[in-house]
A and B are shown apart, each in its own frame.
Chain A
Amino acid sequence: MLWILDNIFNKLCSKLTDFMFLNIVDNPLEKGCRSPNRHFVNKTENNKLKYFKMKFYCLSNDPVHACYVLSFKELMIMLDCGLVMETVLNFLPLPLVQSSKFSTCSNWNHPKLNDGELKKAGNNIFIDSSPEFQPPLAKIIDFSEIDVILISNYMNMLALPYITEKTNFKGIVYATEPTLQIARFFLEELVEYIDTTPKPNQASKWKEFSEFHNLNNLNLELHPLKWKKLFTLDEVHKSLSRVQIAGFDQKIDVFGALEVKPVSSGYCLGSANFVLSTGLEKICYISGSSTLTTQAKPINQNALKNSDVIIMSGLTQAPHINPDAILGDLCLNVVLTLRNNGTVLIPCYPSGVIYDLFEILSQKLDDSGLSTIPMYFISPVAEHSLAYSNILAEWLSSTKQNKVYIPDEPFPHANLVKNNRLKFFKHIYSEGFSAEFRQPCVIFCGHPSLRFGDIAHLIEQYGSNSNHTIIFTEPDFPFLQALAPYHPLNMKVVYCPIETSLNFQQANKLIKDLKTEVLVIPKVYTNPPNIAPNRDDLVIDRQIAKQIITFKCGDCIKLPLKRKKNQVFVDPDVALSVIPQEVMNGVKLAPLSGILDVKDNVYNIRSVDMNCIEGVPKQLLNSLFKKQVSYEYGTMNQMDIDMFLNKLKQEGITDIKTSQTNENDGILTTKIKLINEDISIDISDKGTHIHCGEGKQNLRIKIRDALLSCLNKF
């Protein structure tokens, strides 16, 4: 047991602790030397002094599908790369097969535009063209200067190919493994949907007239000139191959200047918030988060506490809906429709909430005696999505995780597939689908915008019959606008948005608990949402942080980081050479000197090896390094002056004339003159000035030493 009792710090160390309060923290940034892009190191070493300022840019008009850029210490960090997809609602749906409805709808002629770019469907006007999306705003920052992109969840990664493949971006992208894999499903599905239904014509004239920019009353600022066609599958694969995987609580070193740590946000599989720290400052980026129990690992709130700045976005998109009743509502509508021999359509994304819906609905169907009703999951990536979700043990809630230890599959859908309760197909025209298809049933199918994907065909098929129901669960698209081109419709329409991300009440509570100096939020969070303009409670509380800064799309704001200090590391031999003096109660001071060694933004003070200095006169080595220097303090009052004179006397300096004057700006000065020697001494509160003729240096030293013995120094 000796090894236990043995104190790890030996005498040398305890001598240190006396003065150097050993608050030893390793600097994780030391590992910065493995950074691949060493260019940065040079950038900072030829430093400009604006070095410690932080700026924040907003490149997206949608706080849920966000895209921000943070510039700090000459680094450019992109936070999320969300794609604004609501734009597609302005376009005519792309049906799988020649659709009587959308191929025959009439041109909508306008005095300014009458060449068939616009079509009337239902009661609305749509653009007859391949749908376009709104990537992050260009021209605000130079994408080639982005060093790092941090992706918080798979929904916020969908614009990545626009940045990595269509700009000069050269940096690194970080995401968690589930974020990368699930984003791959989303992107592959999206591209396949658009690719399988090509449009020969690409309309663009309509963009010239602002009256056509928001044909569907979308509650969003729209800039069609910035919209882009979707990328290709090849671009998706190239883009994703650039992503580096980061785990929760993994400290990622960014060029030695910053440490980035993804922490669980509880919102969906692999979703993360980011903690950016410099050793002295802490900045948190809170994206889609949930304080509820979901399928994912719970939110790590501790990691977000006591930050200097919190940037928060990604709050609920359905703030006016009470989430508690939603699932019950949904199940009820499914059961009622099925009992009525109707079929249920659930437009969905290929991953996420659907895993829960499979679980809950199968249970509900069992309870309602409807166990024989099949569920269909139609997506080009359905099989991969189902298989993949069951190998994510480490990213799941503890209930799901514990199943893996048995070992059981964490999600029950593998079993549902085995028992033929859940069937998956790439498309409704895939081999085997018609043979397997039974009605009534529940069909999960994309895309939730209803503008492309197999769902477009299914709505046409089921829309006219009031026995069937369509249930909207994804809150990304306003369901009325999504359905607009399909009118007239007889099928039942139910809106059950399943939102797990923070609502305003939860967000206010979270921020209050986290205690931040500065909170940075989208401006829209300070006013009640447009869907519920009278709900004053659906805002971020002005009082929850010392300072709240708001931003809107296109803004660049300065973040107030009042940095006054930086961390440096002192080598022990430098520290040991220091001789501290107590100058006042509880305050010790000592001059410290050494050689500064800056590597990857880590400051080290090393001791000087005097022997290897060349080109410096030997007697000046100490002076060069300010070694063995000291600084005098205190005032010379009459008593001190008398003592000083006494000391001079002891040195044999007796022939002295003393006088007092006010001549220097009214400062009382005692003038001491050494008669017969060319030396005079002026003593005031501020200091002592010794004037000394040539060749009197030895005498001067005597006088100096006498003076020093009357003063304090450190």
Chain B
Amino acid sequence: MPDIKVTCLGAGQDVGRSCILLSMGGKNIMLDCGMHMGFNDERRFPDFSYVALEGPLTTYIDCVIISHFHLDHCGALPYMTEIVGYTGPIYMTHPTKAIAPILLEDMRKVAVERKGESNFFTTQMIKDCMKKVTAVTLHQSVMVDNDMEIKAYYAGHVLGAAMFWIRVGNQSVVYTGDYNMTPDRHLGAAMIDKCKPDLLITESTYATTIRDSKRCRETDFLKKVHECVAKGGKVLIPVFALGRAQELCILLETYWERMNLKYPIYFALGLTEKANNYYKMFITWTNQKIRKTFVQRNMFDFKHIKPFDRGYIDNPGSMVVFATPGMLHAGLSLQIFKKWAPNENNMVIMPGYCVQGTVGHKILGGAKKIEFENRQVVEVKMAVEYMSFSAHADAKGIMQLIANCEPRNVLLVHGEAAKMEFLKDKIREEFKIDCFSPANGETCVIRTPLRIPIECSLNLIKKELKAYNAQPPDPKRRRYFNGILAMKDGKLILMDLPEVWKEFNGINRHVIKFSSLIKLETASTNFQIVEEIHSLIKDRLSAWEVKIVDGQSIIIESVVVKLNEENADKNLCVSWESQDEDLGRYILGLLQTIS
């Protein structure tokens, strides 16, 4: 049986970066090409030398698929295509293609201009990289080449996020990327049909969590923000430019409106308008409600949320500030954090997961002092809140997805090892299917069944149908099917026996036929004899079709039992062709016992 092989260059029992190599049917596919935010050296990029020790990757990789625009899923793409070298096909959805270059450029600026790093890709490289990308729409079946087909499904999570179904030959895999099984304020829930892949590769960020209801979390968030600003504090919400930011903005905007609050809210991205424009133009990717009302009111035109200016950092009084990046590892959010952290009136709300090595991760771990590279030490007196707003599926959601698409195997990525173990047991127990969770660098082999497509003569099918329909309906009846498989010119055709002799007229059948006579000593009429024999055979051979022909012959396959009458002597002639030797002999034997 052919295998499917999966090797994680990232996301194997960790959440730092997603980059998974998938190999099936002789094709090699890279799923996501993420960057690790916790590293500042070459470790942030996937180890491409695993694919090829040196030189371009194009000969080794048949296609790259990017699930969504988060940098831990696409951040290494320009590095891969422009520095390591890859010119093959790259697929992502239209919104991802539109938004990813902006985030990449944003990150590049932070890395190069603020941290002064070298050996990083340039603006031009991002542009050149994006030119190689083919954009796909949801559910579109894209033939990557003659054997490989891909199809995107809606994943929720962020604008344009997709799960990908990949087929090579008749093996198939679904890769979820990050997804969300419950709709939120601006996106719908992930959706997939019963595509029965051989393997489902699913994220498992919240493998053990059953998150409390969305509404509770939202109320909790608003309460905390409101309390903090009411007592004159400043609230910092580190976010990524697109995605969760928009959802939280909608949330605060409607709350401020309803409560008639006047505290300033700032969105410190410079990107705001642009980002919201993308949401406007790709509104078909948002949820039903936003799509329905977009003509009357654009959800992304905010009344209370104003652009932030660096000068506001030291302003007195309360305010709420959204700032990038989301894990406090660089940029403006970190700068604001350093200023506001020492004041206990202030608050930082981390609305998403933070990878190891980032400031976000440290303060969530309870660190009260943060030391920076330049020996600067910042005391953390401000309140630190973690609110899980990042839109990942929880354990319930993951189980739901498995139930929906009915995979034959599951492989967990993008999660923590211990939590994966728990989920793995649950999956095995509930679905009775195999579940894997390879570590980075480890190769997982999944065996898949093979089905061979062949052409079949319609005659043969019709013949079987006729025989099948002649019998009384019985749903449990087996449909025996046989024919002659012929291979000519590399083509396989299943034929009916007579067609074989017709098709290949260089060969002639040589029928071997056997006949034996059985003398009968009976007073019964011919009719009674035939009926008796017929019912006897039928009784013993219920799986066969037993026919009476001309009132004197009984036919089962090629076996003919014929009643002869010569001068008042009666005998049965049993004959059969060599292919029915067993059957012929059985019937002969059967009849001998009764004669």
Report which of A13, A23, A390, A711 forms a contact with B453, defined as CB distance below 8 A. Answer: A23
Q: In the complex, identify which listed stretch (A486-494, A586-594, A658-666) lies at the interface while the others stay far away.
A: A586-594
In the complex, which residues of chain B have a beta carbon less than 8 angstroms from the beta carbon of A691?
514-516
In the complex, which residues of chain A have a beta carbon less than 8 angstroms from the beta carbon of B557?
623
Q: Are A391 and B281 in contact (CB under 8 A)?
A: yes
Question: Given A604-B451, A690-B512, A587–B543 Cβ distance below 8 Å?
Answer: no
Q: Are A594 and B23 in contact (CB under 8 A)?
A: no
Asked if B578 is an interface residue, CB under 8 A from chain A, the answer is yes
Q: Are B2 and A9 in contact (CB under 8 A)?
A: yes
Asked if B469 is an interface residue, CB under 8 A from chain A, the answer is yes
Q: Are A707 and B543 in contact (CB under 8 A)?
A: no
Scan residues 452-491 of chain B and give those whose CB is less than 8 A from a CB of chain A: 452-458, 461-462, 464-466, 469, 473, 478-491
In the complex, which residues of chain B have a beta carbon less than 8 angstroms from the beta carbon of A604?
451
In the complex, which residues of chain A have a beta carbon less than 8 angstroms from the beta carbon of B25?
8, 24
Q: How far is the CB of A71 from chain B (nearest CB, A)?
A: 18
Question: Given A249-B140, A592-B485, A596-B480, A566–B456 Cβ distance below 8 Å?
Answer: yes
Q: How far is the CB of B53 from chain A (nearest CB, A)?
A: 6
Q: In the complex, identify which listed stretch (A316-324, A514-522, A577-585) lies at the interface while the others stay far away.
A: A577-585
CA distance A392 to B294 in the complex (A): 13
Q: In the complex, identify which listed stretch (A126-134, A155-163, A527-535, A692-700) lies at the interface while the others stay far away.
A: A692-700
For A678, the closest partner residue in chain B by CB is B517
Query: For this complex, into which size category does the number of interface residues on chain B fall?
Result: 35 or more
Asked if B278 is an interface residue, CB under 8 A from chain A, the answer is yes
Q: Mark A599-632, 1 if CB is under 8 A from B, else 0.
A: 0000111000000010111011011111001111
For A586, the closest partner residue in chain B by CB is B488
Question: Given A26-B170, A583-B504, A689–B515 Cβ distance below 8 Å?
Answer: yes
Asked if B137 is an interface residue, CB under 8 A from chain A, the answer is yes
Asked if B139 is an interface residue, CB under 8 A from chain A, the answer is yes
Q: How far is the CB of A692 from chain B (nearest CB, A)?
A: 5
Report which of B450, B469, B483, B511 forms a contact with A572, defined as CB distance below 8 A. Answer: B450
Q: Are A390 and B481 in contact (CB under 8 A)?
A: no
Interface of B is mostly: mixed
In the complex, which residues of chain B have a beta carbon less than 8 angstroms from the beta carbon of A590?
484-485
Q: How far is the CB of A655 from chain B (nearest CB, A)?
A: 20
Q: In the complex, identify which listed stretch (B117-125, B367-375, B580-588) lies at the interface while the others stay far away.
A: B580-588
Report which of A26, A388, A407 forms a contact with B295, defined as CB distance below 8 A. Answer: A388
Q: Mark A20-56, 1 if CB is under 8 A from B, else 0.
A: 1111111100110110000000000011010010000
Q: Are A624 and B480 in contact (CB under 8 A)?
A: yes
Q: Are B452 and A405 in contact (CB under 8 A)?
A: no
In the complex, which residues of chain A have a beta carbon less than 8 angstroms from the beta carbon of B586?
617, 619-620, 623
For B588, the closest partner residue in chain A by CB is A697
For A409, the closest partner residue in chain B by CB is B281
Q: Are B487 and A626 in contact (CB under 8 A)?
A: no
CA distance A623 to B584 in the complex (A): 10
Asked if B549 is an interface residue, CB under 8 A from chain A, the answer is no
In the complex, which residues of chain A have a beta carbon less than 8 angstroms from the beta carbon of B3?
8, 10
CA distance A595 to B543 in the complex (A): 13
Asked if A598 is an interface residue, CB under 8 A from chain B, the answer is yes
Q: How far is the CB of B334 from chain A (nearest CB, A)?
A: 28
For A568, the closest partner residue in chain B by CB is B456
Q: Mark A538-576, 1 if CB is under 8 A from B, else 0.
A: 000000000000000000000000011111111110010
Q: In the complex, identify which listed stretch (A228-236, A352-360, A680-688) lies at the interface while the others stay far away.
A: A680-688
CA distance A687 to B469 in the complex (A): 33
Q: Are A616 and B543 in contact (CB under 8 A)?
A: yes
Question: Given A590-B485, A688-B510, A393–B24 Cβ distance below 8 Å?
Answer: no
CA distance A4 to B141 in the complex (A): 26
CA distance A250 to B579 in the complex (A): 48
Q: How far is the CB of B64 from chain A (nearest CB, A)?
A: 15
Q: Are B504 and A632 in contact (CB under 8 A)?
A: no
Q: In the complex, identify which listed stretch (A96-104, A200-208, A497-505, A633-641) lies at the interface while the others stay far away.
A: A633-641
In the complex, which residues of chain A have a beta carbon less than 8 angstroms from the beta carbon of B169?
22, 24-26
In the complex, which residues of chain B have a beta carbon less than 8 angstroms from the beta carbon of A49?
462, 465-466
For A682, the closest partner residue in chain B by CB is B513
CA distance A624 to B482 in the complex (A): 10
In the complex, which residues of chain B have a beta carbon less than 8 angstroms from the beta carbon of A631?
484, 497, 509, 579
Scan residues 29-54 of chain B and give those whose CB is less than 8 A from a CB of chain A: 50-53
Asked if A226 is an interface residue, CB under 8 A from chain B, the answer is no
Q: How far is the CB of A605 from chain B (nearest CB, A)?
A: 6
Q: Are B512 and A404 in contact (CB under 8 A)?
A: no
Q: How far is the CB of A298 from chain B (nearest CB, A)?
A: 15
**How many pairs, one residue from A and one from B, have CB atoms within 8 Å of each other in the complex?**
333
Q: How far is the CB of B479 from chain A (nearest CB, A)?
A: 4
Report which of A10, A566, A592 forms a contact with B484, defined as CB distance below 8 A. Answer: A592
For A405, the closest partner residue in chain B by CB is B98
Asked if A537 is an interface residue, CB under 8 A from chain B, the answer is no
Q: Are A593 and B23 in contact (CB under 8 A)?
A: no
Q: Are A566 and B452 in contact (CB under 8 A)?
A: no
Asked if A704 is an interface residue, CB under 8 A from chain B, the answer is yes
Asked if B26 is an interface residue, CB under 8 A from chain A, the answer is yes
Question: Given A584-B504, A620-B583, A687-B509, A391–B137 Cβ distance below 8 Å?
Answer: no
CA distance A531 to B172 in the complex (A): 55
Q: Are B518 and A596 in contact (CB under 8 A)?
A: no
Q: Are A568 and B494 in contact (CB under 8 A)?
A: yes
Q: Are A27 and B170 in contact (CB under 8 A)?
A: yes
Q: Are B141 and A249 in contact (CB under 8 A)?
A: yes
Question: Given A10-B3, A31-B193, A250-B141, A617–B464 Cβ distance below 8 Å?
Answer: no
In the complex, which residues of chain B have a beta carbon less than 8 angstroms from the beta carbon of A7?
26
Q: How far is the CB of A611 from chain B (nearest CB, A)?
A: 14
Q: Are B465 and A34 in contact (CB under 8 A)?
A: no
Asked if A384 is an interface residue, CB under 8 A from chain B, the answer is yes
Asked if A429 is an interface residue, CB under 8 A from chain B, the answer is no
Q: Are A578 and B451 in contact (CB under 8 A)?
A: no
Asked if B592 is an interface residue, CB under 8 A from chain A, the answer is yes
Scan residues 523-542 of chain B and give those whose CB is less than 8 A from a CB of chain A: 540-542
Asked if B195 is an interface residue, CB under 8 A from chain A, the answer is yes
In the complex, which residues of chain A have a beta carbon less than 8 angstroms from the beta carbon of B280?
391
* 6 extra interface residue pairs, beta carbon distance < 8 Å, beyond A1-B53, A250-B151, A704-B581: A20-B492, A572-B452, A592-B485, A622-B582, A624-B480, A631-B509
A interface list, Cβ under 8 A from B? 1-4, 6-10, 12-13, 16, 19-27, 30-31, 33-34, 46-47, 49, 52, 177, 246-251, 261, 280, 383-384, 387-388, 390-394, 401, 404-405, 407, 409-410, 563-572, 575, 578, 580, 583-584, 586-598, 603-605, 613, 615-617, 619-620, 622-626, 629-636, 685-694, 696-697, 700, 704, 707-708, 711-712, 714
The 5 lowest CB-CB distance pairs between A and B, nearest first, are A687-B511, A593-B482, A26-B170, A596-B481, A24-B169
